Amino acid sequence: MQTETFALLVKDHEMVKGIIEDLLETSPSAKKTRLELLKTLKKELLDHENLEERVVYPPLESRKATRDLTLEAYQEHHVVDQLLEELESLDFKDEAWKAKLTVLQENLLHHVQEEEKELFPKAEKALSKDQLKTMEQQIAQAKA
């Protein structure tokens, strides 16, 4: 059972995955498109991570059922951030650019999968109805 609590975060996941797919289809000569998409990716990714780390992770970190997965999630954000930084400092024409973006995509897909299939369902069991409702409102507020 998936409640509405995390629906907006799942929507974010879909959007970010889409931006990466678009980026992977660009050619090394499409510098302007790569720059613009990369800028969008960074903004969406960082906003999303900040929201999760501010609103979602703290209450889950303090519960036994969700603690380990939450600690992992912070680290996964960190790895994705690092890959993004490295990507930014690489030359667009470099062969490694696409390879690094692919590794970023793999890391992100793993993280998103773990949240959607494990962390969020566990959170729905570990938190009370009121807590979930509050979280849902905080997420909606931040997205507004």
Ramachandran sector of residue 90 (left: φ over 0; alpha: ψ -120 to 50; beta: rest): beta
Count the residues in the chain. Answer: 144
Neighbours of 58 (CB within 10 A): 11
Q: Which stretch binds Fe ion (CB under 5 A): 32-40, 50-58, 64-72, 97-105?
A: 50-58
Q: Is 12 in the site for Fe ion (CB under 5 A)?
A: no
d(CA 8, CA 52): 11
* Greatest C-alpha distance within the chain: 52
Question: What is the total count of residues that contact Fe ion (CB under 5 A)?
Answer: 1
- Quote the least distance from Cβ 94 to Fe ion, whole Å: 28
Q: Which stretch binds Fe ion (CB under 5 A): 31-39, 46-54, 101-109, 126-134?
A: 46-54
Q: Which is nearer to Fe ion, 38 or 119 (CB)?
A: 119
Among 6, 45, 52, 108, binds Fe ion (CB under 5 A): 52
- Quote the least distance from Cβ 30 to Fe ion, whole Å: 28
Output the CA angle 121-64-120, nearest 5 degrees. Answer: 15
CB 70 within 8 A of CB 60: yes
CA distances from 48 to 14, 77, 97, 129 (A): 12, 10, 23, 23
- Quote the least distance from Cβ 24 to Fe ion, whole Å: 20
Subset of residues 71 to 100 that bind Fe ion, contact rule: CB under 5 A: none
Residue whose Cβ sits closest to Fe ion: 52
- Quote the least distance from Cβ 110 to Fe ion, whole Å: 11
- Quote the least distance from Cβ 129 to Fe ion, whole Å: 23
Contact positions vs Fe ion (CB under 5 A)? 52
